[in-house]
Structure 1
Amino acid sequence: MEINKETAKAVISALVLVLVDVLAAVGIAADPSTVASAVYLVLLVAATLYGCWKNHNFTQAAQEAQKKLDELKDK
């Protein structure tokens, strides 16, 4: 599934507006730019964690698979 840049911006903008409205409904005044920064920060952290998980061999099975791959590359 590929999302283009404009679609991502639109979804994030809509999410920010919904969050600002929800916060206003419970009595918390929030600046949309602050909420947008928080949303972008959460996305950044999630993307970083996902990238680290996918690109490093944390599990025993992944470590064994990497050893086999290294052996095959050495031949």
Structure 2
Amino acid sequence: MRKLVKKHWDTLAKPLDGMGSFETITAQIGAILGTDVIDIRKKGVLIFCADNGIVEEGVSQTGQEVTLAVAKSMARKG
């Protein structure tokens, strides 16, 4: 499937590999979905937030409450 998706990209009016990583990503999606016709109607974004212990190290500008506030804001689409 990757090759078929890549072949399709190469038929479009653009420089070869002109879309860079986007072409690679869509080829991967085609391989995952098992098709060279990619149609992603249901899409989503996963957002992960963490301070990974950096607050405890004392090198963060802010405390954990800021990480929490930012995560909540992102969840509200804001």
Aligning the two structures, in what range does the TM-score lie when normalised by the shorter sequence? 0.3 to 0.5
Return the structure number with greater helix share.
Answer: 1
Higher RCO (Cα < 8 Å, 6 or more apart) = 2
- Structure-1-length-normalised TM-score: 0.35
- Structure-2-length-normalised TM-score: 0.34
